[in-house]
Amino acid sequence: MLCQNRPTDLPCRQRAVPYGSGRSGAAQEPSLNPTEVLESMTSRVSSAWTSIRKLGVRRALSDTTDRLMREADVAAVRRAGFARVVVSGLLLIAVLIATRDVPPDALLVLHQIRAAEMTLTLLGLVGLGSAWLASRRLAVAWLPGLTATLDAVLIFSNIGYSHWVLGVPGTFFSVFPGIWVIPITMAASAIHYSPRLQAYVAALYVVGLGSLAVSGSSTTLQERERGLSEFASQFGWEANMIRIAMVLSAALILILVARQGRALLERAVRETTMRLNLTRYLPRELAPILSERAFASLRAGRRIPVTLLFVDMRDSSAYGETMDPARLAVFISSFRRRVMRAAAKHGGVIDKFTGDGALILFGVPTETGSDAARALACGRTLFDLIDRWNAKRRFDPPVRIGIGIHTGEVFCGVVGDEDRLEFTVLGETVNTAARIEQATKVVDCPFLVSTQCISAAGESDGWIAIEHPPLPGVTRPIRLMKPKF
């Protein structure tokens, strides 16, 4: 029906051959180039192999996301271990109850029962060991693959016992008791949410069962009919009760997988919602890295040592008088972009912009030994960026800034009610840092730093003390320093 519109399709080529020109009036098949067929097959195999390799590739994650993933991996290994213990115990009880009336002369069945009991016991021990190791965060990255491999070894050992020791043909592998445990272990592997692990587990069982099927392919139909008579007891109510218990075990594990997936989804939504809310009143550098616990700490408030950098543009009112509103908006935005670039380069957190100025924090939310040194480097970067901006735009008069830096203890937290929350830092240290920045106008030096900050940074050689009047509103004596060069 579509051949008239698609004359290049293969079916259309077949229709284009006159009727009756081939054998029995059939259309002749077009000849295929072996080289083209080989290239096509190679391309498809390469594409499939690339897809398999991508199963193990993890995208680059942020620190917070990576931490959450590690926590989820540990919890998944522990749950998988406990699930193996519970399921093994449940199946072992079912086997003991269902096989208590097995006649003593049914040697084949008795041997399989003993092998099943040992296999289930070892599966439970594997689960207990993996849960114990995960609780101590030992070899967490290796445990999922290791436990899945041990599961397969135990299951195929049980099946191999029936096949090679008891002489049961591989053709009958579908009635072996161990076969019913395979879906359970595959469901347990799904707890880890690892496509690569799931592909590995599937390959283990497909290859193993395929080998069993091939090994029994030489039996005749009569041999199979005679062999089935030996498995009559495998289809009684006792054996079926064990199978029902296995189905129940697989269902319980899948319920656990679904519950875990739902919990992870809810947590991801909760974290995302929290971060969207945080971005309304927290500095943008803080919102993505705060966990619920860290945010709760900020909500309660705490005192921490920080280094504060105040920066202010000199004579900005002159630009406001000579520029139209559109150009002024672009001008201030360009200045703020340079402040943000310098803060990001040195790990600073911009607390707030105040018109043509800004307050940058170092040491929030966690103190480090390099906070003061990074603040000084940020100040130098700011001067360099402004100098290059002046050279590029040829401002007249050129843009000038003043920077004041101080180190000390502040109150840091989120204050206000739910209708209006605000992240803030309070204390004498904040007031002192602001006064130091204002002092740059008084002493005609654009870069002033307190001795507390210089001492914390360990850069005393590059700075020189200056004479200055007392800082207004500051009760403690403060000595200021400026760069030597």
Residues 6+ away with beta carbon under 8 Å from 27: 14, 15, 17, 19, 21
Q: Do residues 450 and 437 lie in contact, with contact meaning Cβ atoms separated by under 8 Å?
A: no
CB atoms within 10 A of CB 336: 15
Cα distance between residue 122 and residue 154, in whole Å: 8
Cα distance between residue 172 and residue 151, in whole Å: 21
Which helix (H) or strand (E) segment is 2 a member of? none
Count CA atoms closer than 13 A to 279's CA, side-chain side.
7
Which helix (H) or strand (E) segment is 240 a member of? helix 237-278
In the chain, where the domains are located: 64-273, 287-483
Give the residue from 189, 177, 206 showing the smallest Cα distance to 253: 189
What is the chain's pLDDT, residue by residue, as a tens digit (485 residues)? 334 444 444 333 344 344 334 444 444 444 555 666 566 667 766 665 565 555 445 555 455 566 667 887 888 888 888 888 988 888 888 888 877 777 777 676 677 778 888 888 998 899 899 989 988 888 888 989 999 999 889 888 887 777 676 666 666 667 676 777 888 888 888 888 888 888 899 899 888 888 877 765 566 666 666 666 666 666 666 667 777 887 888 888 888 888 888 887 787 777 777 666 666 656 655 655 455 566 666 667 788 899 999 999 988 877 777 888 888 889 999 999 999 999 999 999 888 888 789 999 999 877 888 999 999 999 999 999 999 999 998 888 899 999 999 999 998 877 776 666 677 888 999 999 999 999 999 998 999 999 999 999 998 888 999 988 889 888 888 999 999 87
pLDDT of 348 reads: 92
pLDDT of 283 reads: 62
Write out the two tokens for 76: 């998944």
The one-letter code for the residue type at 380 is R
pLDDT of 386 reads: 95
Q: Is 461 exposed, middle or buried (0-12, 13-18, 19+ CB in 10 A)?
A: exposed
- We find that the CATH architecture of domain 287-483 is 2-Layer Sandwich (3.30)
The partner residues of 450 in beta bridges, in order of sequence, read 480
The one-letter code for the residue type at 175 is V
Q: Do residues 107 and 149 lie in contact, with contact meaning Cβ atoms separated by under 8 Å?
A: no
Cα distance between residue 404 and residue 421, in whole Å: 28
DSSP H helices, 22-178, are 34-54, 63-98, 107-135, 143-160
The partner residues of 412 in beta bridges, in order of sequence, read 302, 425
pLDDT of 273 reads: 72
Cα distance between residue 263 and residue 268, in whole Å: 9
Taking CA atoms, 18 is separated from 6, 26, 119, in Å, by 18, 9, 67
